[in-house]
Amino acid sequence: MKIDDISAFVAVVREQSVSAAAQALGMTQSAITRRLQNFEQDLGVALLDRSVKPPRPNPMGRQVYAQCGKVLLEVERLRDLALAGQAPTGTFRVGVIQTIGDVVLLDTLQQLNAAFDGLHTEVATGWGAQLVERVAAGQSDAAIALFPSTKVLPDGLSGRTLGSMELVVVAASGAMPKRSYRLRDIDDIGWVLNPDGCGFRAGLARALAQQGLNFKINLETFGTDLQLGLVANGVGLGLVPRPILERSALRARLDIVAVADFKPVLDIWLVQQQPAGPLQAAIDFFADAVTRAFAPRRARKAR
């Protein structure tokens, strides 16, 4: 049984076609088909349902696919172990949620290029859960996302927190004059939030549901600056990390609304596979940049 045959099978299942798998691996379709046949012969069982197009894994194929992922991960770890201590080269694939990426990416990418000659960095953005899935699937080397401190990671992944981030409710300046509110008091105003899939939005939805309150969305859109602009124009309430608000050019047009029964705090997580070999130096470099960017102001001044 050859590792190359296992890789071909995994690629076909992941890409959902032989042609796409061939393109992903830089091979011909006939070579992929030959490796698939070799793998099935070695196991003595069919793994794909070829009565449908494109072929799909049958029940046994799905079980084998799950195990193959573990095998390839262990092979990669062996290679990383042999390369440990070497300077990172090649491609560094990192996932970053947009909220954090808007703050750190520009400077950090320049610093990475200067610190590690020969390293090419590819960045993916998305929701935190999606980015963790990419790391688990081997499509990214690391991910930076916001999760509760109780977050449980998939098997095979390790994580550490780089700090915490307070979320605050914001409104147009002067629109909410009271010193404090409760969720029930602002239930009918409505929100300007990210589309479904955002962890901020999910946490707010849970808090409202626990009190039997409506979840009124006035407008959903991507982009923190756009959301804050809409909130400043009176479209609804916003929910934003405090450090992002303080950096915003719209800060003077917005007020933080004190909500006594809603004080969400999320941790900044670094998620990666272990071991990472030479890329660990790049991962740690990126993590340190995020930690510095979101450190409390007093801590930054003390350095």
pLDDT bracket for residue 301 (50, 70, 90):
very low
If asked whether residues 222 and 272 sit together in one domain, one would say no
Select from 83, 112, 127 the last residue of a domain.
83
Mean pLDDT to the nearest integer, 141-151? 89
- Looking at the fold, whether 261 and 271 belong to one and the same domain comes out as no
* Helix, strand, coil tally for the chain in percent (to 5): 45, 20, 30
Model pTM? 0.64
Q: Which amino acid is at 38?
A: N
Q: What's phi and psi for 111, nearest 5 deg?
A: -70, -40
The answer on 198 and 249 residing in a single domain is yes
Number of domains in the chain: 3
CA distances (Å), 157 to each of 39, 136, 209, in order? 28, 7, 32
Q: 136 and 254 in one domain?
A: no
Residue 182 confidence (pLDDT) above 90: yes
Q: Is 66's pLDDT higher than 70?
A: yes
Residues 39, 1: contact at Cβ < 8 Å? yes
Kindly tell me if the per-residue pLDDT of 303 is higher than 60. no
**Do both 118 and 197 map to the same domain?**
no
Assign residue 115 the CATH number of its domain. 3.40.190.10
Q: Are residues 64 and 193 in the same domain?
A: no
Whether 82 shows a pLDDT value over 80: the answer reads no
The closest alpha carbon to 163, from 104, 123, 107, belongs to: 104
Whether 72 and 11 share a structural domain: yes
Same domain, yes or no: 55 and 179: no
Q: Which amino acid is at 90?
A: G
* Mean pLDDT value across residues 177-186: 94
pLDDT at 5 over 70: yes
Same structural domain, 144 and 206: no
Rounded to whole angstroms, the Cα distance separating 155 from 147 reads 17
Which of 67, 83, 99 finishes a domain? 83
Question: Are 156 and 288 within one domain?
Answer: yes
Q: How far is CA 165 from CA 220, 263, 291, in A?
A: 22, 11, 11
Two structure tokens written together for 298: 């007093």
Same domain, 209 and 147: no
90 has which bridge partners?
A: 119
Q: Cα 162 from chain centroid?
A: 15
Are 295 and 163 within 8 A, CB to CB?
yes
Phi (first) and psi of residue 252, to 5 degrees? -70, -20
Q: Which whole number is the average pLDDT over 219-234?
A: 93
Residue 295: its pLDDT value, please? 81
Do 65 and 105 lie in a common domain? Answer: no
Single-letter amino acid, residue 20: A
Instruction: For the chain, give the mean pLDDT.
Output: 87
Tell me: the pLDDT tens digits for 6-65?
A: 999 999 998 888 888 888 888 899 999 999 999 999 999 999 988 888 888 999 989 999
More confident residue, 168 or 279: 168
Instruction: Give the C-alpha separation, 78 to 67, whole Å.
Output: 17
Q: Write out pLDDT tens, residues 243-292.
A: 889 889 999 999 999 999 999 988 999 999 876 677 888 899 999 999 98
Range of the domain at 12: 3-83
Percent of the chain residues past pLDDT 70, beyond the cut: 93
CATH of the domain at 62: 1.10.10.10
